A and B are shown apart, each in its own frame.
Chain A
């Protein structure tokens, strides 16, 4: 399918909106990132050959290395690989009506956020561990940049996830039935749900760290609040994150095993139910990472029980994979070898996981190499191995050529052997009591450390074989036919493409172009500007720790970035608001679009974001003995007026939409303008309120605030809401511009509906906030 020129044309690489091509870009990015993160791994293992310094001169350099290694492998390698396979496979597997993802342009944006995230994370040099626990992460350098990188990565996967859900839900061809989809589609669907539910919470946690570092808030202060709060919020995201990584791998591996055994997947429905069960349960097991924190006994027993329960579906899946091979005719090509390794390694990972869920054992094993071994079995020897298996399996389809089997087998044996040696050594070290994240260690651990290092080098070497295998494959002759490159008796068998179906049924030629969009990547890159602006406000240059407040107006760099961003935004609005007016998507008429899931899915993630932000604030409040009476420190009548303003704006928005539905364009534009003006009034009102509060000195983020904790949660909640209003006003402005150019009509006003729903939602949030922040 790939004509070979794609990687030679920067313009196409930048602007492509074709999911299959974006899939390739994901693979390429993930591979580069794998090399970088892998190099860090080898440096770490080299350092640990003896207790004395070998490569890293200081402990701090070493700490940077494992932070970058861990963050990189998780967010820049394994998660993107899942997205890459999703892009490449899902539109085909569901015979998507446009032969692409639901939102091709956003898909491009989601991808380009990833290289941006990578650059931020690689260069951040934060020495905090991928878990970034405060107070450490509040006091160390480099963390601001690291957080910005993670927010980009998180946003990228959130956009991707919404896109996957829509593609599977709405873009799926009517003749592709739920229970006949490839299991990978199910895996991607559940992963996407988890991303949508969990990522906003991570964003909240990271932003709170950022605020604590730079804006004098005290969310995780040990004297006023509670640093352990962060651990809950963080793991609420990060435990689901491990399943976000592994669910697509489950799907991929099912296919590979069935194909190379020449059988059908055994227990299809129990596989789907198991994945659903894992997805649902995975948001209530996070505190198994916190057994040694002196956790509340009730919380502890709840989480140990839930964690046991979630192991059940994983077990069922292993048994089903085994049974899939029964009575097959197994062909041991490289993909199958990797798949077999996956089963064994995943089982080991599961077993070692059970140990640390038993609290009496975890009190010994927590934060030792046992845990490191456990998750490497599951992620490096499990998930990544599943990705290798599928990569080789789909290689002929992607390139039209066959990879080099001998080198691929060498890759397999070195990787598998290296995994085994290293991670078993990790488990033994853990049993002996070797803590993780150690720059130097007591001498008696040296033997097993050296064994682990040898295994790590085997893994490093295996990647060279992989590169050779790919290289030789690309040099080789094109295959004559891609129907069945592995001679398995069946090929990739995707459902019939939608366009063919339409041709047959309706006799119409659906011409689907994958347009280039330069504005989509440009949009993604432009988002770097405000973040660089933010970073520039931190003391001591862009990337160090500091108190932004003091230098707020003084940072020249920051202001330049922000002005640049605003200029860009104006330009962008001007351009985009007149683009493609009146053009219709050829597949639109075949879509039964009775409901705008695209915005509702997004709103679901907003609901959990605000639940986290408001809920955490409330939990802080319930646990404090002294709390100011809001009537004394805030002006309720003033904000009541602001509330009123927002309520009117919801009314005008609804009216405006009703007018466009009726085709009354003048009134539509008039009421839209009212809405924008009311939004601006609200924002201005809030700024005036902030300024007044800062003047009074009770509710402020200055050092001498009377109520620092109250102020922190006050600005967190109202600030995030204000930001949403701002974004809403910007989008409304865009829609207004487009409306003036005649972009909407009685039959074509989807975007007005979308922005309307968003706007009402922001109003709804304010209604809740007004009560919990100001009134109670």
Chain B
């Protein structure tokens, strides 16, 4: 299922900017894209819930994290229109990557400089 959605997305994303002014059926396409995105998100959520019932282990955690990131990226790219922006990378970098990087320095040091053992 992922493949078809993705090819659909990139197909449209590339020409979106030029299409929107002139092409009438962009309208139709956008609604379709939203619907597909919504479906993909729903399916991934179901997979996630199922995976969380698997016995704990590193691989389950990794799968869950990857799914979460994929879902978040989908929301950002499609619903928030980052994909259709003139410079998606600039936007992603300045709004998501830089604050995340700054925050990660904090988190890394908090974790590294932890004193004692925490409770539960």
A positions within 8 Å CB-CB of B: 197, 201, 218, 223-226, 228-229, 232-233, 236, 283-284, 287, 290, 294-296, 298-299, 302, 594-595, 600-601, 603-605, 607-608, 611-612, 615-616, 618-631, 636-637, 640, 643-644, 647-648, 650-651, 653-655, 658, 662, 707-710, 756-757, 760-761, 763-764, 767-768, 770-772, 774-776
Contact = CB atoms under 8 A, between A and B. Distances in A.
B100 A611 contact: yes
B112 A604 contact: no
Interface in B40-69: 41-42, 45-46, 48-49, 51-53, 56, 61, 64-65, 67-68
Interface of B: 27, 30-31, 34-35, 37-38, 41-42, 45-46, 48-49, 51-53, 56, 61, 64-65, 67-68, 71-72, 75-76, 78-80, 85-86, 91, 94-96, 98-100, 102-107, 109-120
Contact of B52 (A283, A620, A625, A631): A631
A595 B85 contact: yes
B68 A768 contact: yes
Given A226-B116, A768-B72, A608 B102 contact: yes
A648 B42 CA distance: 9
A745 B115 CA distance: 57
Contacts of B71: 767
Contact of A624 (B100, B109, B120): B120
Nearest to A296: B113
Contact of B120 (A618, A628, A662, A756): A628
A88 B61 CA distance: 53
A626 B37 CA distance: 38
Contacts of A707: 120
Contacts of B45: 640, 643-644, 647, 770
A709 B120 contact: yes
Contact of A775 (B64, B79, B119): B64
A56 to B, nearest CB: 34
Contact of B99 (A223, A284, A604, A761): A604
**Most chain A CB inside 10 Å of its own CB: which residue of B37, B98, B119:** B119
Contacts of B117: 623-625
A604 B116 contact: no
Contacts of A223: 119
Contacts of B107: 611-612, 615-616, 618-619
List 8 tightest A-B contacts by C-beta distance, closest first: A611-B103, A615-B107, A624-B118, A224-B119, A771-B68, A608-B99, A607-B99, A651-B38
Contacts of A232: 106, 109-110, 113
A197 B99 contact: yes
Contact of B95 (A594, A600, A627): A600
Nearest to B66: A771
Given A604-B98, A775-B64, A623 B111 contact: yes
Nearest to A771: B68
Given A626-B119, A640-B49, A767-B71, A760 B103 contact: no
A715 to B, nearest CB: 15
A631 B68 CA distance: 18
A627 B99 contact: no
Contact of B67 (A618, A644, A771): A771
Given A640-B46, A771-B64, 12 more contacts: A226-B115, A298-B112, A604-B98, A607-B99, A611-B107, A623-B111, A623-B118, A647-B41, A647-B42, A647-B45, A764-B80, A767-B72
Given A636-B49, A640-B49, A595 B91 contact: yes
Given A233-B106, A287-B113, A650-B79, A636 B52 contact: yes
B111 A619 contact: yes
Given A595-B85, A616-B107, A624-B117, A764 B72 contact: yes
Contact of B110 (A600, A619, A756): A619
Contacts of A628: 120
Contact of A611 (B72, B104, B116): B104
Contacts of B61: 776
A757 B31 contact: no
A757 B95 CA distance: 12
Contact of A605 (B38, B76, B99): B99
Contacts of A608: 99-100, 102-103
28 contacts: A197-B99, A229-B110, A229-B114, A299-B112, A594-B86, A600-B91, A604-B96, A604-B98, A607-B96, A611-B100, A611-B106, A612-B106, A615-B107, A616-B110, A619-B110, A621-B118, A625-B117, A627-B120, A628-B120, A636-B49, A654-B78, A709-B119, A710-B120, A760-B80, A763-B79, A764-B76, A770-B45, A775-B64
A218 B119 CA distance: 10
Interface of A (DSSP majority class)? helix
A441 B75 CA distance: 60
**Most chain A CB inside 10 Å of its own CB: which residue of B51, B53, B99, B111:** B99
Contact of A607 (B56, B100, B112, B120): B100
Nearest to B106: A236
B119 A225 contact: yes
A226 B79 CA distance: 40
Contacts of B42: 644, 647
B104 A770 contact: no
A658 B34 contact: yes
Contacts of B120: 624, 626-628, 707-710
Nearest to B35: A651
B18 to A, nearest CB: 14
Nearest to A228: B115
A662 B56 CA distance: 48
A380 to B, nearest CB: 29
A215 B10 CA distance: 48
A771 B48 contact: yes
A161 to B, nearest CB: 14
Nearest to B107: A615
B67 to A, nearest CB: 7
Given A644-B42, A658-B27, A775 B111 contact: no
B114 A226 contact: yes
Contacts of B113: 228, 232, 287, 290, 295-296, 299
Nearest to A218: B119
Given A604-B94, A622-B111, A658 B64 contact: no
A298 B112 CA distance: 8
B95 A603 contact: yes
A101 B114 CA distance: 44
Contacts of B72: 764, 767-768
Contacts of A708: 119-120
Contacts of B56: 629
B109 A299 contact: yes
**Most chain A CB inside 10 Å of its own CB: which residue of B27, B67, B102:** B102
A624 B75 contact: no
A165 B78 CA distance: 26
A708 B120 CA distance: 6
Contacts of A624: 117-120
B38 to A, nearest CB: 4
B48 to A, nearest CB: 6
Given A299-B109, A655-B34, A771-B67, A615 B103 contact: yes
Contact of B31 (A298, A604, A653, A658): A658
A355 to B, nearest CB: 23
Contacts of A768: 68, 72
